[in-house]
Amino acid sequence: MNTQPQFSENQQTDRLTEAAAALGYEIVDIAGFLDLVEEHARAQRSGLTVLDARATEMVQANSDVRSAVRQMAQSTDETAHDVKSSAELMRTTGEKTRNVAGWVQDLAQRTEAVSDTLSAVKSNNLQIANIATQVNTLAINAKIEAARAGDAGRGFAVVAEAINELSRKTREAAVEISDNIESLTSWISNLGKEASGVATEAADVLENAGGTDSALGRMETSIASANQQAKRIAEQAERMQSAIEDFTPALAGIDEAVASTTSGIETTHERVLRLIDTSETIVQTTALLGGDSADTPFIARIQTMARDLSELMEDAVDQGDISMSRLFDRNYRLIPDTNPEQYLTEFTTLIDKILPPIQEPALELDSKVVFCAAVDNNGYLPTHNRKFSHPPSDDPVWNTAHCRNRRIFDDRVGLKAGRNTQPFLLQVYRRDMGGGAFTMMKDLSAPISVKGRHWGGLRLAYTF
């Protein structure tokens, strides 16, 4: 005996419609999740691209560092060798300089001794000159006495003359010696002054020689230390290079995995979008089959409102309030300082005038209704419900939720609603409310035509 409950054709249609709507809800929710995952995957891919670029730069930078460090190590090696050679040369030169300085100081002392000796010689020579003068005087006296003695003193006179001549020559020689001593004394005096000055400088050299040796020692130590540090840096750079070489393939593997995942997500997303289209076709078909589903009142209302709006737009054209070219204007002019961006067209003012009497009462149709608005075939929404048409603020998050008029909604749902030419189109979608908040809704739309030309669609959104 068949115990399964029996349903009429209309009941079966209603159940099919509800099931199709529920299926659409789940698929759209999954699609929204995939949107988020895909966005994150793309962000990760972008981050990995940047990371890969930075890794490449790091490899190049480390290579440059290694090259620079090798050059520095080589340079410090050469510098250390040069400094060591220079230090040895300076020490040898310093030793010779100290010897010369000591000799100069000794020369100064010897010069003083020579000056003293010359002074003594000059004094002795002066005594010799005085004695020669005295002997000359005595010889003259002797010659006078010999002349007085006559023949008896003639021999003595000859001796006296010889002594006189000898004393004269002795005095002349003493004078020449004195002149030479004066010249030698002057030269020795100048030499002594110069030697004294050089000796002072030599004393400074001797005093600074120790400091120079210490400075050279410290310089040798510093260069040796720098050379050791350069070698350590070179070793660390080699280790870093090895680590980077291991890191690069791992990064490439991660990038490949993320790329594969992103590709898989994109493929899955495309398949889910096709599922959404299929579920919407099922919903659309079941609604066309008739029956009294939960969407039936909304379908009837949206079709009536779309026809009313179409007639009002045609009347505006007939009365000359707007031309067909202006009504179908698609030149969207950006309103400055709006975020999200808002736009104006030639027909915006007309829609502001004729749409509110139609769209505002639609909010009273059912508590589930969220909004009612018209969009052109590019998703441009000129006039929204008053509660979504506030003046924009400086907060883009608040604007996203409260300033939804004058905006272009060219997402999948918005474009399909604006371009649909079937009697109605029922879609399920996640509405972005701003700040990362989303609401699952049904979007029901009916086409708007003016004098046989498709203009866009009237949308009615309501919750499940």
456 vs 138: CA distance, rounded Å: 159
Q: What is the pLDDT of residue 2?
A: 45
pLDDT digits (tens, 9 = 90+) for 386-400: 999 999 999 999 999
- Nearest-10 crossing angle of helices 154-288, 9-149: 180
Asked if the model's pLDDT at residue 36 lies above 70, the reply is no
Q: Is residue 272 part of a domain?
A: no
Q: Is residue 17 part of a domain?
A: no
* Helices within 319-374 (DSSP H only): 324-327, 348-354, 356-362
Q: What is the pLDDT of residue 342?
A: 98
User: Which phi-psi region, left, alpha or beta, contains residue 336 (left: φ > 0; alpha: ψ -120 to 50)?
Assistant: beta
Q: What is the tally of structural domains in the chain?
A: 2
Q: What is the pLDDT of residue 294?
A: 79
Residue ending a domain, choose from 227, 248, 269? 248
Q: What is the pLDDT of residue 49?
A: 73
Q: What is the pLDDT of residue 368?
A: 93
Average pLDDT of every residue of the chain:
77
Residue ending a domain, choose from 184, 218, 248? 248
228 vs 226: CA distance, rounded Å: 5
Please check whether residues 234 and 100 belong to one and the same domain: yes
Give the confidence band of 328 by pLDDT, cuts at 50, 70, 90: very high
More confident residue, 141 or 268: 141
Q: Is residue 319 part of a domain?
A: yes
Residue length, the chain? 464
Please check whether residues 207 and 332 belong to one and the same domain: no
Please check whether residues 238 and 305 belong to one and the same domain: no
Please check whether residues 453 and 334 belong to one and the same domain: yes
Domain residue limits at 146: 59-248
Percent residues over pLDDT 90 in the chain: 31
Q: What is the pLDDT of residue 421?
A: 95
Please check whether residues 114 and 221 belong to one and the same domain: yes
Residue with tokens 């594969």: 260
Pairing status of strand 333-334 against strand 343-344 = antiparallel
pLDDT digits (tens, 9 = 90+) for 421-447: 999 998 887 766 656 667 778 899 999
User: CA angle, 256 as apex, 254 and 262 as ends, to 5°?
Assistant: 100
147 vs 141: CA distance, rounded Å: 10
Q: Is residue 168 part of a domain?
A: yes
Q: Which two tokens stand for residue 96?
A: 């010779």
Q: What is the pLDDT of residue 165?
A: 73
Give the confidence band of 93 by pLDDT, cuts at 50, 70, 90: low
Give the confidence band of 4 by pLDDT, cuts at 50, 70, 90: very low
71 vs 368: CA distance, rounded Å: 76
Contacts of 368 (CB under 8 A, 6+ apart): 462, 463, 464
pLDDT digits (tens, 9 = 90+) for 282-317: 766 766 666 567 788 999 999 999 999 999 999 999
Query: Are 345 and 330 contacting, i.e. CB atoms less than 8 angstroms apart?
Result: yes
Q: What is the pLDDT of residue 1?
A: 44
Asked if the model's pLDDT at residue 381 lies above 50, the reply is yes
Contacts of 359 (CB under 8 A, 6+ apart): 305, 372, 373, 374, 383, 385
**Mean pLDDT along residues 168-195:** 70
More confident residue, 147 or 202: 147
Asked if the model's pLDDT at residue 72 lies above 90, the reply is no
Q: Which two tokens stand for residue 387?
A: 């509660």
Q: Is residue 306 part of a domain?
A: yes
Q: What is the pLDDT of residue 199?
A: 62
The letter for the amino acid at 206 is L
Kindly report the CATH number assigned to the domain that includes residue 147.
1.10.287.950
Residue ending a domain, choose from 215, 248, 281? 248
Kindly report the CATH number assigned to the domain that includes residue 423.
3.30.450.20
Q: Is residue 278 part of a domain?
A: no
Please check whether residues 212 and 311 belong to one and the same domain: no
CB crowding 317-343: b at 16 or more within 10 Å, else e: beeeebeeeebbbeebeeeeeeeeebb
Among positive and negative, which fits the CA dihedral 160, 163, 165, 168? negative
The letter for the amino acid at 359 is Q
Please check whether residues 87 and 208 belong to one and the same domain: yes
**Mean pLDDT along residues 228-252:** 69
Phi, psi of 62 (to 5 degrees): -65, -35
Please check whether residues 345 and 453 belong to one and the same domain: yes
What does 375-412 look like in DSSP terms, one character per residue? Answer: EETT-EE----GGGBPPP-S-HHHHHHHB-TTEE--SH
**Mean pLDDT along residues 200-209:** 62
Query: Are 446 and 358 contacting, i.e. CB atoms less than 8 angstroms apart?
Result: no
Contacts of 330 (CB under 8 A, 6+ apart): 345, 376, 378, 380
Please check whether residues 98 and 194 belong to one and the same domain: yes
**Mean pLDDT along residues 403-419:** 94
Percent residues over pLDDT 70 in the chain: 52
Please check whether residues 320 and 431 belong to one and the same domain: yes
**Mean pLDDT along residues 28-39:** 65
Asked if the model's pLDDT at residue 318 lies above 80, the reply is yes
Please check whether residues 229 and 170 belong to one and the same domain: yes
- The helix (run of H) or strand (run of E) holding residue 432 is strand 425-434
Give the confidence band of 163 by pLDDT, cuts at 50, 70, 90: confident
**Mean pLDDT along residues 327-335:** 97
Q: Is residue 11 part of a domain?
A: no
Q: What is the pLDDT of residue 350?
A: 97
Please check whether residues 72 and 165 belong to one and the same domain: yes
Q: Is residue 107 part of a domain?
A: yes
Asked if the model's pLDDT at residue 20 lies above 70, the reply is no
Q: What is the pLDDT of residue 269?
A: 58
Among 417, 423, 323, 311, CA closest to 371: 417
CA distances (Å), 395 to each of 338, 341, 401, 407, in order? 10, 13, 10, 16
> Can you tell me whether residue 456 is helix, strand or coil?
strand
**Mean pLDDT along residues 160-183:** 72
